[in-house]
Amino acid sequence: MPYPFAPLPTFAELCQILQDEFGCELKTHETLVLNIGDSYPVTYLERDMDGEILTVSIVLPENRQERIELDFLRSITQRLRLDPSRFGLDLDIFEEDDEKED
């Protein structure tokens, strides 16, 4: 089903797809803030593409059964170099529109 009618996955479904099909890992790193001497967790997705490590920071939703936002999905696919068509995002329609404007 092409964009914009693609059903968006829940956060839990997205993480499962990213892990099973693309080998991504959900990780947390403690970051120390030097000025205040405190640390806080930074959550991110990591993908190893033939030795090149791709990462994207994320904010975990309180409810992992919540559907993700379209902009978040587009950002994840770009940053982790995922095939957007796997998620029903047919980005060719944007390229066709750009060609018409020229």
Range of the domain at 33: 11-101
Q: Contact 89/6 with Cβ under 8 angstroms?
A: yes
The answer as to whether 60 is a domain residue is yes
* CA distances (Å), origin 17, targets 11, 59, 67, 100: 10, 18, 14, 35
The H or E element containing residue 72 is helix 70-79
pTM to 2 decimal places: 0.72
What is the C-alpha to C-alpha distance for residues 68 and 8, in angstroms, rounded to an integer? 6
Instruction: Walk along the chain (102 residues) and give the pLDDT tens digit of each residue.
Output: 445 566 789 999 999 999 999 999 999 988 767 677 777 888 999 999 989 999 999 988 889 999 999 889 999 999 999 988 888 876 554 454 445 555
The answer as to whether 22 is a domain residue is yes
Any bridge partners for residue 53, and if so which? 48
- How many residues are given for the chain? 102
Q: What is the tally of structural domains in the chain? A: 1
